[in-house]
């Protein structure tokens, strides 16, 4: 997770505190974020739910106790190990940039082009039938991404 993922993390943490009828102050939330920031946000969100689900339902103390960071980390490691998290973007070639590959040309200019995994996701989104208006408004962006992918394959 990085700083941009913090609002999503805080929202998920807030949902759990409401569910368990607990209150956390800003400092406690920051401790949770600092302890788990080396994991991806999607994994952390699912790991929080999994950590709550894995508890003993008959234990009176655990039914209302907040999940600890070791519990969340253990659940996240299980998710990563089982590869239950299937992200839309980010294969081995473009993992840090989420779908884009950066190359340096012979003249020293940096050029970014879409990866194969990003092109597949964009094509699938364009073919999807039950789309809402906002999805159709983003079609120009998707089509320009596909054009950039095709041009990069011609090189």
DSSP-derived 3-state class of residue 127: helix
| Lookup result for tokens 């894995």 | 54
Q: How far apart are CA 28 and CA 62, in angstroms?
A: 19
- CA distances 106 to 73, 103, 111, 148, Å, are 44, 10, 11, 19
82 pLDDT tier (thresholds 50, 70, 90): low
Give residue-wise pLDDT tens across range 84-117. 444 456 677 776 777 888 888 889 888 888 888 8
In 3D space, the residue among 63, 61, 62, 8 whose CA is nearest the CA of residue 36 turns out to be: 8
pLDDT average, residue stretch 28-43? 87
Q: What is the share, in percent, of the chain residues with pLDDT greater than 70?
A: 92
**Model pLDDT, residue 83:** 59
pTM of the model: 0.52
**Model pLDDT, residue 84:** 44
Q: Which of 54-58, 63-67, 95-99, 106-110 has the lowest mean pLDDT?
A: 95-99
Rounded to 5°, angle at Cα 77 from 49 and 15? 20
Q: How far apart are CA 107 and CA 87, in angstroms?
A: 34
Asked if pLDDT for residue 13 goes beyond 80, the answer is yes
Residue 76 has which token pair? 């996240």
Asked if pLDDT for residue 81 goes beyond 80, the answer is no
pLDDT average, residue stretch 55-75? 84
Count CB atoms within 10 A of the CB of residue 71. 19
Q: Which of 29-33, 87-91, 118-122, 124-128 has the lowest mean pLDDT?
A: 87-91
In 3D space, the residue among 123, 121, 73 whose CA is nearest the CA of residue 98 turns out to be: 121
């Amino acid at each position: 997770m990085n700083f941009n993922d913090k609002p999503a993390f805080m929202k998920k943490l807030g949902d759990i505190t409401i569910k368990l009828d607990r209150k956390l102050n800003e400092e406690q939330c920051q401790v949770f974020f600092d302890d788990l920031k080396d994991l991806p946000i999607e994994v952390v969100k699912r790991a929080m739910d999994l950590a709550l689900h894995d508890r003993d339902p008959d234990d009176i103390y655990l039914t209302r106790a907040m999940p600890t960071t070791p519990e969340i980390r253990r659940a996240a490691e299980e998710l990563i190990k089982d590869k239950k998290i299937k992200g839309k973007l980010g294969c081995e070639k473009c993992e840090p940039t989420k779908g884009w590959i950066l190359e340096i040309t012979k003249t020293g200019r940096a050029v970014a082009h879409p990866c194969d995994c990003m092109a597949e996701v964009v094509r699938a989104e364009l073919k999807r039938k039950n789309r809402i208006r906002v999805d159709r408004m983003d079609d120009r962006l998707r089509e320009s991404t596909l054009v950039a992918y095709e041009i990069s394959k011609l090189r």
